[in-house]
Amino acid sequence: MWILLLLPFVGLLWVPFYNFTEPSLFGFPFFYWYQLAWVPISSLLIWLVYRSRTPDEAP
């Protein structure tokens, strides 16, 4: 599961993936909405890893 944490690095640091204006969404060029979309996706990925790990302590 921990490998999921690497996906945001791949998705955002390989710039040729997303350095375009089309297709645009709600007026946002692709470059912008693609990177903004990574914000909730990263949260989701971290949450998945969080859920899968065994708790290390009593709260």
Binding site for other proteins (CB under 8 A): 2, 5-6, 8-9, 12-16, 19-21, 24, 26-29, 31-32, 35-36, 38-40, 42-43, 45-47, 49-50, 55-57, 59
Q: How far is the CB of 34 from other proteins (least distance, A)?
A: 10
- The answer to whether 8 and 45 have CB atoms below 8 angstroms apart is yes
- The answer to whether 49 and 5 have CB atoms below 8 angstroms apart is yes
Q: How far is the CB of 11 from other proteins (least distance, A)?
A: 9
Cis peptide before 16 (omega within 30 of 0): no
